[in-house]
Structure 1
């Protein structure tokens, strides 16, 4: 069993427990259901956009604890002040130290910035959770879903006005894309070995539809990485650990973007 298999099995148990505790009708009562979501796709394509999607996560399976001393409102506000195009907030607690509280706090602190609910989405119920806690888009990991499951989750997202970001790691996973997908993220980290190779983005980008908005994920640590990937057709760059591992993630983000 891979770490992804383990996480997905745990996630299914979490979702079953959540369904038993909070109904869809209760989720729909959230004030966030009345708001119009923002478009990350539009933000990334806007003239002068930095393209940086800064992530708030305090730990990960590959790195362990990254930074448990920082507060989500302070960090995400600093990210936005630095000029990011979007935010990514982890909501998986067990493996990434995330929470819905963090997502909601980021939303309140940054009302005009697109926010991704970063989690392992396996059930339409989770899409309603994302909407109920202020997310603008969801992440679908192709390695975790069949083509049919991905379509169902995409349809649910569209019904709720949310954008869909699909993460791929291999050429085979690209075959699972559907017309409702707004953005494709190429994860440079091998989910089996955890090795990171930026060339994964470049290689898979050539296989994607020409008009697809592309995001490169994982292992991005230098301005040179960003310039290189822009030339390869990428509009977005998801960066978490590079900023979060510093004592002041917001400052690290601002310094990075200033160099772009």
Structure 2
């Protein structure tokens, strides 16, 4: 089994356990379930175009930064013009939790992307209940039919959908209802990064869809290269999180890039 297979197996167990503890009806009674969501489509255009990320660790990099608090970091992300913030909620592999979103939801006014491995409709109700505005669908662990059905469910909950792809084969997962297509510069099966591969894929996307370059953006040159190739947005996590003060690092980056 590759790492993605291991993550999905673990996720299935976690979802089954969560369902046994809290029902969908109970999720609907949560504080944030009825809140109006914020639109990433709007903030991508009006702010920096960068979706910053709060991520403590990853299977490929180990511990990235486990010494800063979500609120401390994302408040500065917002201050310096982030279009949104991606927050990992997978605990076992990425060190995240629902609390990482809950602790910041009332303190920022930009969209929050719940970044996790969405394999069951239950997780969409979870996302809504903790105050997320956008959910991630990863093509490599879903069928095109699941992507279509999950997109419809997400929209019924007023959540936007970022569909992540990495291969030509996964282009078939795209449907007219997904809000954004993210192209992961990093292969989730072996963690190799190839920016040109992402550009080649972008050139095959429908012309009217928002494209987001994800992961593996390690320096200013990578960012400039992808921006010049026409990506509408950029999801960047490790580049900022590996610093002692991720928020300040983001501020420096925005200033340097004159975004």
Question: TM-score, normalising length from structure 1?
Answer: 0.97
Paired position in structure 2 for 1:172: 169
Structure 2: where are the runs of 5+ without partners?
A: none
> Is the contact made by 2:50 and 2:82 (CA closer than 8 Å) also made in structure 1?
yes
Aligned-pair RMSD on alpha carbons?
0.9
My pick for the range that moved more, 144-153 or 88-97, is 144-153
Inter-partner Cα distance in structure 2 for 1:200 and 1:44 = 23
Pairing 1:226–2:223 present? yes
Paired position in structure 1 for 2:10: 10
Pairing 1:143–2:140 present? yes
Inter-partner Cα distance in structure 1 for 2:224 and 2:208 = 20
Post-superposition shift, 1:42?
Answer: 1.7
Inter-partner Cα distance in structure 2 for 1:73 and 1:35 = 20
Paired position in structure 1 for 2:63: 65
Post-superposition shift, 1:133?
Answer: 0.3
Pairing 1:83–2:64 present? no
Post-superposition shift, 1:155?
Answer: 1.0
Q: Tell me the alpha carbon deviations over residues 193-252 of structure 1, each in whole angstroms, 9 at most, x when there is no partner.
A: 211111122111011000110110111122232222122121111111111111011111
Match of 1:187 among 184, 187, 190: 184
Superposition map of 1:128-139 within 5 A:
128-139=125-136
Inter-partner Cα distance in structure 2 for 1:34 and 1:137 = 15
My pick for the range that moved more, 29-38 or 11-20, is 29-38
Superposition map of 1:238-253 within 5 A:
238-253=235-250
Number of residue pairs aligned between Structure 1 and Structure 2? 257
> Is the contact made by 1:138 and 1:163 (CA closer than 8 Å) also made in structure 2?
yes
> Is the contact made by 2:219 and 2:239 (CA closer than 8 Å) also made in structure 1?
no
Paired position in structure 2 for 1:35: 35
Inter-partner Cα distance in structure 1 for 2:190 and 2:35 = 40
Paired position in structure 1 for 2:102: 104
Post-superposition shift, 1:191?
Answer: 1.9
Inter-partner Cα distance in structure 1 for 2:197 and 2:77 = 27
Structure 1: where are the runs of 5+ without partners?
A: none
Pairing 1:19–2:19 present? yes
After TM superposition, where is structure 1 displaced by more than 3 Å over at least 4 residues in a row?
none
> Is the contact made by 1:51 and 1:85 (CA closer than 8 Å) also made in structure 2?
yes
